Structures are given as structure tokens and as C-alpha cells.
Amino acid sequence: MLATFFTIVGLTGAAHAYSFPDCVGGPLANTTVCDTTATATARAQALIAMFTTDELINNTVNMSPGVPRLGLPAYNWWSEALHGVAGSPGVSFAPAGQNFSFATSFPEPILMSAAFDDELIKEVATIISTEARAFNNAERAGLDYFTPNINPFRDPRWGRGQETPGEDPFRISQYVLNLIDGLQGGINPPLFKIAADCKHFAGYDIENWMGNERFSFNAIISTQDLSSFYLPPFQSCVRDARVGSVMCSYNAVNGIPSCADTYLLQTILRDHWGFDDNRWVTSDCDAIANFIDHKFSPDLPHAAASGIIAGTDVDCGTTYSNNLGAAVNMSLVKVSQIQAALTRQYASLTRLGYFDPPASQPYRQLSWADVNTPNAQKLAYTAAVEGITLLKNNGVLPLASSIKKLAFIGPWANATKQMQGNYQGTAPFLISPFAAAQTAGFTATLTAGTSINSNSTSGFAAAIAAAKVADTVIYAGGIDDSIEAEAMDRDTIVWPGNQLDLIAQLAALGKPLVVLQFGGGQVDDAALKSNPNVSAIMWGGYPSQSGGTAVMDIISGKVSPAGRLPTTQYPASYVDAVPMTDMSLRPSATNPGRTYKWYTGTPTYEFGTGLSYTTFSLALSGRPASSYNIQTLVKAGQAAGGPLDLAVFDTFQVAVSNKGKVASDYVVLGFVKTTAGPAPFPNKELVSYARVKGVGAGQSATASLKVTLGSIARVGDDGSASLYPGDYTLLLDVPTGVTHSFRLTGTQAQITQWPADPNAS
């Protein structure tokens, strides 16, 4: 019934070419909207005051027609750039061979997150926004991008987990802080480079599981889980990174559709986090119409009115434009409320320099010469190399110099476009693992053997024959967008089809066997982990344009791996233990617990797993404190200013020593565990991390792990965070290598106050 988001995201043709208002000789010249000395809000208010009611209503949708009589051009608010400028209704790629026929394609966020390298994320985002501006200057893209997806990867079956930075809210919060910094040209800069959009607010992580569709799903979430797990990434994005826009989600939260929920959109977003009137909220596409599916609105005029009143400023769809007129006539919504929504939109465009002279804007000078530069290509490769994660290695990797003949087998062996994942653009080139091996000088053969989800064994014989004459066998498989995708969750987390059967037959040959596992969501590697004839397992996510080169450079030993899993790899039985629709995190009689924090079982590979080609040792430098007084910590945090949860608790210096013979990066992960505060208690919680780079053989480096008060606080039933007296342990690395015990003394102190939900019974 609906022209949904997932069905049109792959389009490459824009509805119109972009242009800018004429503030020199056009109808808007000499009006306040063209006055660069006025505030963004004042300029937008002056513009909106010139609109008729019909013009207001017509421009409440993503494909805004503008106001021709005012010289205000049409504008599409929906462009995409999840991991590079991407095909979408607002982005138009030129035909092959022409300028703007491609854009740099970085790895999917799930793999970039595995690098645990915040500076990398900022650099990637800076290049993406530069290319986005260049596309805009060529009238091929907008200035507003529906990226990033920062919903925590709560359940391994979710079809869109590849779009996210993983399962840990602290990791996602740091990822998005640095990403928005790079996308928007700073933290709350006077002039936005582009306006990013944090999605999907809130509690969105089900596509279509067992008949439970995202368009009508009601996510029942406790205040404690909402505050501590589902919303911290959005707080980082809105309060700390000062993002330009937010997308409300399809689902309802505790009975109210997100795009109609004044608690989410007003109480939390605007009042609690300070989302001001230079910023706007868009619905997910056709989410306003879905109010009827939720049985929240009796008809579309009521749905449109509810969205506007709640604070959803832009309708990605046509429900607003087709029904707000009737809603006004029925006195369901006031014209002034529509004006407020449009003011937010155009205040944002004002901050993007939309009404300013081109000569005064550095971003208006960017061009095709700034797209896919040598530096961008290098960074796309680096992002893949840093994130690729080694899970198992019996010593076969890196390959010995005597290894010359490689048999590439599997449905990912010669992958190209497959490596991009979803929300992709047109890449300048795509290097498969097989092609990269050939370029590296190996004698390589290519045999599919099977496909991603096939039960046919017709290709097995050829694969076995190729393996028998090779020095080393490299099986490349896993899952891809045919298994995990928007609108499609998984029912199982086993390797699909007969891939494990083929791998078992290859392993029985006794040849060195390297398994490359691709895809965003994890599959259960238990059979491979326990098989002594499977020499190595490497996870590569969706590594994109230079992915094959990155994989081969690690296999050959040109680079040592240092990525860490950003999600838990559960045993296959996990899906039988808890339904996707159970949004709770903590273990119970019907839930084994979710994510590494709460899972009570034994994972196949735990969050943070990642091997290296060398041996590192860690040691805490100096004499870390063994006791901290809560009242002293709070007083110091208050004196420093800013949100108390961001105040520094302590900074731990960690000596990282390379005891082996290979230079390598190393990711230091810091966790805290405690039995202080409300029960149940998490297994541990990530509180800090750092990636030290290029530690030479026999050399040492220092990692600084800054820990905030918010990271060691515990969240109670009411969603507020407090520091609790008791015993705590700092845990370094996965598996834990170094520990440090400390105690918080004094009395319990609340450091955040979570706003109460007026809708709660």
C-alpha cells in the first residue's frame, strides 16, 4: 500500500536539478531571508511569513515544490550518504564515464566501527561531506542527508544491523559524535557543511520478523532500557554533536507511534536535549500514514495533524501535502503550527548557506576534482583494513612466502558490488578478493562451489578439485543483502544454504584453509571454530571499493589485523531462546539477556574479539587510584561545567608493548564491572577504548583511556543515572588481560535526571 523507504532507496535519478534562491535580483532580494546579518530563525520566519496557507502545506514534504512566485526553488530533503554519497531520490549520478558518475564508497558502518578508531570516522565523514557538497554544487544532490543509522544492533537477526556501528551504546555514541563532526563541518558550526540526520528515533530494530512488521510494531520498552540502551546514541548525536535533523521511526514506543509521540519529540528531544528551532524532525518515509496501521489515527487528516502537533516537521511522503488542508479546515491543527515546522526546515537551510552569496561560502567552490581523490581512495582502503577482524588463526596467517597457489572458492570470492552492502552509491571501482590476489602476484583459481543460499551440490566437485592442487584454500562466503536487508530480518543465524557442508569437505582435504566470513550480522562459526582443519577465520563485513585489496593485504601479511568485533556472535540456538519482539535487555525466565552486557550464555565469539599477527602485553602505568569519593567527583564535575555525565572520572594510561616480531596497530578496550547499584548487574560495560597505531616489534606505546562519570554510573528504573558507592573493577582487553580494582566511597549521587513520561500510566 505504501511507497516505502526501502523500495526506492536505490533510485539514482533525482526529481529535479537543485538550484539556489536568487538573493540579488530575484523576488527575495532585499528581504530579511537574504540578510546575512540576521539570525537563521529570523531569516526563516521572514520567508515563511510570505507563504500562503497552500504554499505552506505544499512544502511540508520531502519533495518540496518551493514557491515559484517568490523565486524559492524546489528542494528534495531526502539524500543519502551512509558510507558515501548514495543513490536516493535526492541524489543523481551521471552516466558512466561522465563527471559525477561515482563517489567514494567506504565500508559499511558495522565494519568501520570495528576499527575502534574515532579519528578515522571523522576523516571518512569529512570526505563524504566534501563529495556531497561537490554533488550539490553540480545540482546532483541536496544538502540534507538521512544518515547515520544509530539504532543499537540489539538482535542478531535484524536485517539492517550492517548500517549501524554495532551493539554497544557507548561505542555508537563515540562513533556518531565523530561522524557528525566530519559531516557537518564541526560541532555546531555557524555554517553547516551538510545537515546530517540521526535515525531512527526510537526503538527501531525490527523489519519483518514472523509477521511483525515495522510499520505497525509496538515496541514495549522500559524507561530504564530506553535511557541506558536505546537512546544514548541519540543523546550523543543531538545534545553533544548538535546534529541538524532527526528521523522519527515507523514503530510505536509503548503504544504511541514515534512520529506522533510528544514525549519523544518534545519532552526528550527538544526540552531535555536542547534540539532547537534551527533543527528539524523528518518522518521515516510514509510513517505518518502508518498511524492508521497503528490504529492511532482514524484517518489521514487526523494522522497529519498528529504528526505536526507532535513535532514531526517534514513528512517523507505525501500525507501532509494531501491532508493538512483538510486538517486545518477540521480545526485539527493550526496554521501557526505548520509555520513553525517550515521555519525549522528553512532555518536549517539558512545555516547551510542556501540564501547566501556563493563567493562567501567555501563549500560552494567544491567540484568534481574533489571527488574520489587519491586521499579518499587511500582512506576507503584504510577503513577496510582497520576494521577487518581475525577470529581464529592456527598460525597459517600470514601466508608463508612459499605459498604461491591459492584456490578461491565461495560466493564472495569474486565479489564486487556485493561488497558495498546497502545504501550504496556508484563506486569508482570494486576490487574483489580474487582480483586482489592476482594483482598481488599469486597464482589464483576461482571456483564458486555454491551460492549464498543454495542447497545444490553441483559445484562441489569443481571446488574440491581446485582445492586439491592449491597450496592454500580460501573460502569466501557468509551472508549478503539477499539474506539481511531492509524489510527482511533473519529467522536463523546459521550459515545459509550448504556453505558449511562445502567448507567441511574442503577442510577434510587437510590443506591450509582460510575462511573469510562476510556480511554485517554475524553467523554462528561454532563448527568452524572447533574444526582443527579450519586454519583461520576472518570477518570482513562489507569492505566496499578496496575491500579485496584490504583482505589480501592482511592474508599476505602486508598488514597485521587489529579489528575487534562490534557485536556478539551468538550460538545458533540463541534465536530459539528469545523472540525479536522482546525489547528487554536484562536476563529473565524468558530471555537469556542481550548483547555482551547481559547475555548469560557462552558466545561463539564475544564482543571485542580480535586477533593479531604479533603478541601484545598491557600494563597500567603509574599507580591508579584505588578509591574515589563520590561527592568530590561530583563537585569537580560541576566546577568543570557542561553535562555532569561527561565530566571526567579518571584517565588511565595503558602501556602497550609489542612483544612479537611484526609491527601492528592495537585496540585497547576498557570495561568496568560492579555489583553496586540496581540489580541485576551487567557482565561488564565498555567505558573507554583507544587504537594505538604502528607499534613496532619490540616497541611500546601509550593508550589514554578517558572514563567519564556517565560511564561508571548506573541507571535506575526511572531512567536517571547515579554514582553508587561500592567496589568496581576495570577490565582491559578481550579476553581480559589486566584488571584494576577501585572503590567509590561516600553516598549515592544522581548525575542525570531523566524526564518522566506523561503518557505512562
Query: Any idea which residue has 597505531 for its cell?
Result: 693
Residues found in the chain: 761
List, in sequence order, every residue forming a beta bridge with 588; answer none if it has no partner. Answer: 591
> pLDDT averaged over the chain?
96
Residue 3 is predicted with a pLDDT of: 33
Question: What's the whole-number mean pLDDT along residues 454-460?
Answer: 98
Residues 514 and 639 in one domain: no
Question: What's the whole-number mean pLDDT along residues 355-363?
Answer: 92
40: containing domain: 5-370
Residues 253 and 360 in one domain: yes
Residue 14: pLDDT over 50: no
Residues 446 and 325 in one domain: no
How much of the chain exceeds pLDDT 90, in percent? 96
Query: Position 101: which residue type?
Result: S
Domain closes at, from 567, 598, 629:
598
In which band, very low, low, confident or very high, does the pLDDT at 10 lie, cut at 50, 70 and 90?
very low
In which band, very low, low, confident or very high, does the pLDDT at 684 lie, cut at 50, 70 and 90?
very high
383 part of a folded domain:
no
Residues 271 and 325 in one domain: yes
Residue 4: pLDDT over 90: no
pLDDT digits (tens, 9 = 90+) for 250-302: 999 999 999 999 999 999 999 999 999 999 999 999 999 999 999 999 999 99
Residue 1 is predicted with a pLDDT of: 28
Work out the number of other CB atoms within 10 angstroms of the CB of residue 316.
Answer: 25
588 part of a folded domain:
yes
Residue 5 is predicted with a pLDDT of: 32
Residues 553 and 622 in one domain: no
Residues 535 and 447 in one domain: yes
Q: List residues with catalytic annotation.
A: 284
In which band, very low, low, confident or very high, does the pLDDT at 629 lie, cut at 50, 70 and 90?
very high
504 part of a folded domain:
yes
Q: Hey, is 247 helix, strand or coil?
A: strand
676 part of a folded domain:
yes
Q: Which of 2-6, 491-495, 669-673 has the lowest mean pLDDT?
A: 2-6
Residues 161 and 266 in one domain: yes
Residue 760 is predicted with a pLDDT of: 74
Residue 24: pLDDT over 70: yes
Report the CATH number that the domain containing residue 588 is assigned in CATH: 3.40.50.1700
Residues 591 and 459 in one domain: yes
* Torsion over CA: 506, 511, 517, 518 (sign): negative
In which band, very low, low, confident or very high, does the pLDDT at 411 lie, cut at 50, 70 and 90?
very high
379 part of a folded domain:
no
Residue 515 is predicted with a pLDDT of: 98
9 part of a folded domain:
yes
pLDDT digits (tens, 9 = 90+) for 157-215: 999 999 999 999 999 999 999 999 999 999 999 999 999 999 999 999 999 999 999 99
Residue 761 is predicted with a pLDDT of: 60
Question: What phi and psi values does residue 696 have, to the nearest 5 degrees?
Answer: -70, 160
Q: How far is CA 377 from CA 105, 390, 553, 591, in A?
A: 9, 23, 16, 44
How many Å apart are CA 338 and CA 698, to the nearest integer?
A: 65
377 part of a folded domain:
no
Residues 576 and 630 in one domain: no
Residues 680 and 652 in one domain: yes
pLDDT digits (tens, 9 = 90+) for 713-727: 999 999 999 999 999
Could you say which DSSP state residue 591 is in? B
How much of the chain exceeds pLDDT 70, in percent? 98
pLDDT digits (tens, 9 = 90+) for 60-105: 999 999 999 999 999 999 999 999 999 999 999 999 999 999 999 9
Question: What's the whole-number mean pLDDT along residues 528-548?
Answer: 98
Contact in structure between 154 and 582 (CB atoms under 8 Å): no
In which band, very low, low, confident or very high, does the pLDDT at 360 lie, cut at 50, 70 and 90?
confident
Q: Hey, is 124 helix, strand or coil?
A: helix
Residue 748: pLDDT over 70: yes
Residues 76 and 193 in one domain: yes
Residue 668 is predicted with a pLDDT of: 98
| Cβ contacts of 641 within 8 Å, gap of 6 or more | none
Residue 750: pLDDT over 80: yes
Query: Any idea which residue has 611500546 for its cell?
Result: 700
Work out the number of other CB atoms within 10 angstroms of the CB of residue 468.
Answer: 12
* Overall number of domains in the chain: 3
Contact in structure between 346 and 278 (CB atoms under 8 Å): no
Report the CATH number that the domain containing residue 707 is assigned in CATH: 2.60.40.10
pLDDT digits (tens, 9 = 90+) for 117-126: 999 999 999 9
Domain closes at, from 344, 370, 396:
370
Contact in structure between 202 and 252 (CB atoms under 8 Å): no
pLDDT digits (tens, 9 = 90+) for 326-341: 999 999 999 999 999 9
Residues 294 and 267 in one domain: yes
Domain closes at, from 320, 342, 370:
370
How many Å apart are CA 494 and CA 503, to the nearest integer?
A: 14
Question: What's the whole-number mean pLDDT along residues 592-599?
Answer: 98
- DSSP code per residue over 648-708: EEEEEEEEEEE-SSS-EEEEEEEEEEES-SSSS--S-EEEEEEEEEEE-TT-EEEEEEEEE
Residue 525: pLDDT over 60: yes
663 part of a folded domain:
yes
HEC readout, 406-473? EEEECCCCCCCHHHHCCCCCCCCCCCCHHHHHHHCCCEEEEECCCCCCCCCCCCHHHHHHHHHCCCEE
